[in-house]
Amino acid sequence: MLNTFDSGGGAARSAYRLHQGLLRKGVVSHFVSQYNKSTDPEIICGTGRIDKLIALLRPIADAIPVNLHPQRDKRKPFSTAYVPVAQRVRKAAVEADIIHLHWVTHGFVNIPFLTKARRPVVWTLHDSWPFTGGCHLPGECHRYRDACGFCPQLGSSREWDLTRLNWQRKMRAWKDSNMVVVAPSNWLAECARSSSLFLGHRVEVIPNGIDIEVFKPLDRSQCRNILNLPQNKNLILFGAMGALSDENKGFELLRQAVATLPKQVAGKENMLVVFGARPTQLPDLNVEVHFMGTMTDDIALSVLYASADVMVVPSKQENLPNTIMEAMACGTPVVAFHTGGIPDLIEHQHSGYLASAFDIEDLARGITCLIKENDHANTFRMRCRQKVEREFALDLVSSRYIELYSELVG
């Protein structure tokens, strides 16, 4: 298992959860990362001072080519992946029967690695980078279906720009690799299949998994007491890594939607609870805001999810958001835009609310609707939980990956 980070973001959390699920089923799984920020001593990562220094320099070196484009959109990530891989990565590749890639940019794994690996490769997509010329979130751009070039994120007016060069490097490496692509959502699978870089490659859909014994319904009143949250208010939950700073997470859209909500819904005042961001000065939202800070412990997160009346995920483009899956596993219905892989999780007005893409009025309507549905809260909570148990339980997801590994090794 190769992932740049061992904790933190959605890709790292999903990859590490799968690693744990495989271990429970007796698979000899090793997790190799560029950084070790968790408490797991089994993570394979450079621990010496030189290793740590090189790990810090890798993303800086990898960013040099894109930094030569001052007109680029600096809010959006872009990776070139030309920095040579570390010795521990090469060693792991030699010893492994299966190489399982996850999110491997930031100077961790370079493009020629797949050609040199000479092992069956499974690549779980956590964004679009593996099939683009360098961007992670292409938005409305579909130039990856051809050969990139004229990149809008780089502000490029040239056909043979950095994205076209990266596309050529990937094409040479990908075409001869023994690789199976796995997309966690049907939307990302269709994007991958339409890409010229994955032409002829097998693309499977296997969702991310979640430990349903950790994320589970809890007593709402007790959870609020534990977190010192009010019992007499509607708690609207929002959170992500970079919750306020990452434009893709859609806080500005949520801000506008919340500002239009009535002061009271179903006889109670509203409170917006935010995690994944530090307290900051916000414009008047017409609602009280409570910051929970950064939360990485799964048990604490499950208590927070279970305390909320509704979770809102206003992201502009997402694969299969962990926050939605985690909230639903805890029995908390979610409002989100009908975009990306989100419809794989939410069944409209059955276990949540899918608002029309980027329609602020519909997002506000969804929040109000689910709060008012408190009269039928037990039904909604049960439907959310059943959806996760049926499709996203870690045990089920791990078994599907084991079947794929066995097929490739056999």
Angle ∠(143,149,151) on CA atoms, nearest 5: 80
Q: How far apart are CA 279 and CA 286, in angstroms?
A: 17
Does a structural domain hold residue 5?
no
Does a structural domain hold residue 276?
yes
Mean pLDDT for 320-335 is 96
Does a structural domain hold residue 382?
yes
Angle ∠(310,351,363) on CA atoms, nearest 5: 50
Does a structural domain hold residue 215?
no
Confidence grade of residue 91 (pLDDT, cut at 50, 70, 90):
confident
pLDDT tens per residue, range 6-16: 888 889 999 99
pLDDT tens per residue, range 169-200: 999 999 888 899 999 999 999 999 999 999 98
* pTM summary value: 0.93
Looking at the fold, whether 193 and 224 belong to one and the same domain comes out as: no
pLDDT of residue 14: 96
Higher-confidence residue of 313 and 35: namely 313
Looking at the fold, whether 138 and 169 belong to one and the same domain comes out as: yes
Query: How many helices and strands (H and E) does the chain possess?
Result: 14, 11
For the record, the structure tokens of 300 come out as 């604490």
Looking at the fold, whether 371 and 399 belong to one and the same domain comes out as: no
Tell me what percent of the residues of the chain surpass a pLDDT of 70.
99
Angle ∠(45,182,30) on CA atoms, nearest 5: 25
Looking at the fold, whether 383 and 398 belong to one and the same domain comes out as: no
- Give the β-pairing of 233-239 and 179-183: unpaired
Mean pLDDT for 27-51 is 86
Looking at the fold, whether 99 and 225 belong to one and the same domain comes out as: no
Q: How many Å separate Cα 275 from the centre of its chain?
A: 16
Q: How far apart are CA 239 and CA 305, in angstroms?
A: 10
Looking at the fold, whether 198 and 168 belong to one and the same domain comes out as: yes
Q: Is 217 helix (H, G, I), strand (E, B) or coil?
A: coil
Looking at the fold, whether 77 and 120 belong to one and the same domain comes out as: yes
Mean pLDDT for 26-51 is 86
Query: Structural domain of residue 140, as residue ranges?
Result: 10-209+394-409
Does a structural domain hold residue 310?
yes
Looking at the fold, whether 46 and 191 belong to one and the same domain comes out as: yes
Residue 228's CATH number: 3.40.50.2000
Confidence grade of residue 278 (pLDDT, cut at 50, 70, 90):
confident
H helical segments located in 96-207: 113-117, 162-175, 186-194
Does a structural domain hold residue 182?
yes
Residue 33 contacts residue 6 (beta carbons within 8 Å): yes
Mean pLDDT for 237-250 is 87
**pLDDT beyond 90 at 4:** yes
**pLDDT beyond 70 at 62:** yes
The burial class, CB within 10 Å (0-12 / 13-18 / 19+), for 108 is buried
> HSE (CB half, 13 Å, CA atoms) of 345?
35
Looking at the fold, whether 194 and 282 belong to one and the same domain comes out as: no
Looking at the fold, whether 171 and 253 belong to one and the same domain comes out as: no
**pLDDT beyond 70 at 290:** yes
Residue 18's CATH number: 3.40.50
For the record, the structure tokens of 169 come out as 């490097």
The strand ranges marked E within 308-383 are 310-313, 334-337, 352-355
Question: Tell me, what amino acid is at 118?
Answer: R
Does a structural domain hold residue 1?
no
Q: Tell me which DSSP letter residue 197 carries.
A: G
Q: Tell me which DSSP letter residue 293 carries.
A: E
Q: Is 51 helix (H, G, I), strand (E, B) or coil?
A: helix
pLDDT of residue 240: 85
Mean pLDDT for 309-313 is 96
Dihedral sign for Cα atoms in the order 179, 76, 7, 48: positive
Looking at the fold, whether 180 and 276 belong to one and the same domain comes out as: no
pLDDT of residue 326: 97
Q: How many domains does the chain have?
A: 2
**pLDDT beyond 60 at 277:** yes
Looking at the fold, whether 184 and 37 belong to one and the same domain comes out as: yes
Mean pLDDT for 204-224 is 96
Residue 309 contacts residue 330 (beta carbons within 8 Å): no
pLDDT of residue 376: 63
pLDDT of residue 374: 61
Residue 328 contacts residue 340 (beta carbons within 8 Å): no
Does a structural domain hold residue 199?
yes
